[in-house]
Homo-oligomer: A and B are copies of this chain.
Amino acid sequence: MAEILIAGVGTTTFGDHAGRTGRELFAEARSSALAESAVSSSDIDALYYGNYMGETAERQSHQAPLMASGIGTTGLEATRVENACASGGYAVADGVRAIESGAADVVLVGGLERMTNLETAETTAALARAADELHEGRPGLTFPGAYALLADAYMERFGGTREDLAHIAVKNHENAATNPNAQFHNEISVADVLETPQVADPLGLLDACPISDGAAAAVLISGEYAAEHNLSPAVAITGSGRGTDSLSLQEREDLTRTKAAESAAQAAYSGADVTADDVDVAEVHDCFTIAEVLALEALGFYQPGEAITAARDGETAHDGQLPTNLSGGLKAKGHPVGATGVGQLVELTKLLAGTHPNANAVPGAEVGVTHNAGGTVATAAVHVLEVAR
């Protein structure tokens, strides 16, 4: 893979930004990323931008040129990517590809979602459109129910308990408590998770990520551009992979594995010339606690059926062998859908660069991975980040 460096990252806090517009939130993230990058905005060749539900939430489609306004000339490209909750990760992947193709030296990748401005029922309905309308939406399946089906299938085949899952929520809240960008700063207990109302058996309210507003952005540059401009970013993207699965669950042979993420991970590891064993730290798509289990297995950190106890055993905790979601994850950092995949890049970059408030958990970490999933992992984007040499 061509050398692709992360020159700067920026993000808003994730949470409730009542009264702020999407364009304002994105401008905040974009400005932070550009300022950190020391890249002139007029050098940006392209924007790849993830957004999921702008049509519904802000009556605004065609957001890419809006978010590009003011950062460049009319020669700037601006493209919106929508792959449900993986929109941000796919925007990153397309940004990487723009540099790899030689078409661009400087790419802004970003994502945004405004969600809290709708009534919760409207947001739930908008999110449900990421499932197969014919086979899932029309019968009334929403994502808590869909992930509950995955949890059921997993537990039926491999075992595991609600307590096992609760440990994931507890861990991610603990990590978020020290991340100022996170939506939640309250620590929770296993008892809290088990006592909250069931949303869809076996998942309870605290097994689920919240509804969030937020934006994130990163400036990617080619190695040539870095050399020409005397820039030495601390972190590089060395692998980028994507995978796809059937949109509806009914078409899958096996509900206990997320093959789109497996494919994406293989492609990303291959590009980076690393294996799962080389990874020191991970940010994975834990929209529900069970999703973190499926992610850890798809990424090859655990064999199928073995990741369910990882959090309970402390292996993925801040002081474990593979700290996972040190940001707090979607679960506690928040999940502004289109921003999430880019937000993972922002957090992991800071963790590897040593500038993250939780970076002390991973001293000397050299290799990290982000895992971003759309729907019930019908789409997945995986990126390998490494400390730049």
Interface residues of A (CB under 8 A from B): 21, 23, 52-53, 55-56, 58-62, 64-66, 68-69, 72-84, 90, 94, 97-98, 100-103, 126, 129-134, 137, 242-247, 251, 259-260, 262-263, 266-267, 374-375, 378-379
Complex CA distance for A60 and B136, rounded to whole angstroms: 11
A-B contact pairs, 6 of them (CB 8 A): A61-B130, A62-B131, A65-B374, A76-B244, A94-B94, A97-B97
Interface centre among A82, A251, A263 (most CB of B within 10 A): A82
The reply to whether A251 and B129 form a contact with Cβ atoms under 8 Å apart is no
Which of B59, B97, B132, B245 interacts with A133 by CB under 8 Å? B59
Which 5 A-B residue pairs are closest in the complex by CB-CB distance? Answer: A62-B84, A101-B101, A74-B259, A65-B378, A100-B101
Known contacts A64-B379, A69-B251, A97-B97; is A77 also within 8 Å of B134 by CB? no
Given the known A-B contacts A52-B61, A59-B129, A102-B100, are A69 and B243 also in contact in the complex, defined by CB atoms under 8 Å?
no
Q: A62-B84, A62-B129, A62-B375 are in contact. List 4 more A-B contacts (CB 8 A).
A: A58-B133, A60-B129, A64-B83, A65-B379
Report yes or no: B77 in contact with A242, Cβ–Cβ below 8 A: yes
Which residues from B are CB-within-8-Å of A83? 62, 64-65, 78-80
Interface pair B82/A80, CB less than 8 Å apart: yes
Chain B min CB distance to A125 (Å): 8
Tell me whether B97 and A103 are in contact (CB under 8 A): yes
Tell me how far the C-beta of A182 lies from the nearest C-beta in chain B, rounded to whole angstroms. Answer: 26
> Is A243 touching B75 in the complex (CB atoms < 8 A)?
yes
- A85 vs chain B, min Cβ distance (A): 9
Whole-angstrom distance between the Cβ of A172 and the nearest chain B Cβ: 25
Docked complex Cα distance between A262 and B134 (Å): 42
Contact in complex: A263, B133 (CB < 8 Å): no
Complex: chain B residue closest to A127, CB-CB? B61
Residues of B near A84 (CB, < 8 A) are 61-62
User: Quick one: which of A21, A68, A72 has the most chain B CB within 10 A?
Assistant: A68
Contacting residues, chain B, for A69 (C-beta < 8 A): 246-247, 251
Check A79–B74 contact: CB distance below 8 A: no
Residues of chain B within 8 A (CB-CB) of A102 are: 100-101
User: How far apart are A58's CB and chain B's nearest CB, in angstroms?
Assistant: 6
Do the beta carbons of A245 and B97 come within 8 Å of each other? Answer: no
Q: How far is the CA of A245 from the CA of B77 in the complex (A)?
A: 9
Measured CB to CB, the closest approach of chain B to A333, in angstroms, equals: 22
Please tell me if the beta carbons of B247 and A66 are within 8 angstroms of each other in the complex.
yes
- Knowing A100-B102, A101-B97 are in contact, say whether A244-B77 is a contact too (CB < 8 A): yes
Q: Which residues of B contact A81 (CB under 8 A)?
A: 79-82
A82: chain B residues at CB < 8 Å are 61-62, 80-82
Interface-centre pick from A64, A72, A243 (highest chain B CB count, 10 A): A64
Nearest-neighbor residue (CB-CB) of A47 within chain B: B244
Cβ of A100: which chain B residues have Cβ within 8 Å of it?
Answer: 101-103
